[in-house]
Amino acid sequence: MVVVIRISTSLESNLRLDVPEITPTLVQITGGGDDVREHMFDKVVTASDVGKLNRLVVPNQFAEKYFPLDVAANEKGLLLNFEDRGGKLWNFRYSYSNNSQSYIMTMGWSAFVRDHHLATGDTVSFYRAGTRLFIDCRVRGQILAPVTQAVMPASASPALK
């Protein structure tokens, strides 16, 4: 059994794109060992993110904050390794596209879309714990963790003090 505790602020929006500074959300997952993960960002996927282009556009503000890339030195980009909630590892090529002037995840992304049955409007969430990266997704309108989700201010959590 996995219990997810999501500590959140009232300033968060669904897209989280128009909020200049977002206080990190910590998610504690228990059941298979204690692991505290920092919520980096969510991305509501668009038709082009799940379509024939086979790539996810990472919003610039999050790309530059969480996955900084020296565009001049890394023409082909980096290989980022993520773990999903089932423990499966996903490798995505992460690079900067000069054509679209955006940061993208390509190689491996279309398999993730297929395996998780992603569609326009679904949300992909990115987390980290130390040097490990995690990815999760939920169907449009689905709550992160039905029944077991608890929202509380960070100051109320003894584990975060």
User: Averaged over 129-133, what is the pLDDT?
Assistant: 92
Max mean pLDDT among 19-33, 92-106, 141-155 falls in 92-106
Greater pLDDT, 157 or 40: 40
Q: What is the mean pLDDT of the chain?
A: 73
Q: What's the first-to-final CA gap in the chain, in angstroms?
A: 26
- Band of the pLDDT at 40, cuts 50, 70, 90? very high
The one-character DSSP state at 61 is H
Structure tokens belonging to residue 97: 């596209």
Contacts of 106 (CB under 8 A, 6+ apart): 54, 55, 92, 93, 94, 95
Tens-place pLDDT, residues 98-118: 888 899 999 999 999 999 999
154 contacts: CB under 8 Å, gap ≥ 6:
7, 9, 23, 26, 160
- Domain count along the chain: 1
pLDDT at 61 > cutoff 80: yes
pLDDT at 60 over 70: yes
Token pair belonging to 148: 């077991």
pLDDT, residue 37, reads: 87
Residue 137: give the domain boundaries: 3-160
Range in 37-51, 54-68, 93-107, 145-159 with the lowest mean pLDDT: 145-159
pLDDT at position 70: 77
Assign residue 46 the CATH number of its domain: 2.40.330.10
Percent of the chain past pLDDT 90, that is, above it, reads 46
- As a whole-number percent, the residues of the chain with pLDDT over 70 amount to 62
Q: What is the pLDDT of residue 75?
A: 64
With H, G, I as helix, E, B as strand and everything else as coil, classify residue 135: strand
Q: Each residue of 75-88: pLDDT tens digit?
A: 678 899 999 999 99
The reported pTM is 0.66
